[in-house]
Copies of this chain bind each other. A is one copy, B any other.
């Protein structure tokens, strides 16, 4: 995964990750629960995503069934790396501190993070 996906592409990936493989019709229905989009618009973007290798599709039947080729964490990492590089001048811990500090975190979140740090320190 080199290139970070566009907003629309991300939106589609999210739905596929959540719902599993879908036809354009089904995906567009889901999408329209969130915002108004035309069917052929969704179709077009999914076709382009397929060209780019972001999706694969099963064309055995008339209605093609699309699946994402990437896992959420892969895309999340690509985006994170990009943000760290462009917005935080390459300083990853600066991003983490910002994310931690700005909003108030719940005790559960903090505990979770502490646990991970402990794990990392043990290596």
Contacts and interface: CB of A to CB of B under 8 A. Distances in A.
B96 A100 contact: yes
Nearest to A86: B10
Nearest to A14: B89
Interface stretch (A42-50, A54-62, A104-112): A104-112
A24 B83 CA distance: 26
User: Which size bracket describes the interface of A in this complex?
Assistant: 35 or more
Contacts of A69: none
A3 interface: no
A93 B76 contact: no
Contact of A76 (B75, B88, B120, B123): B88
Nearest to A18: B89
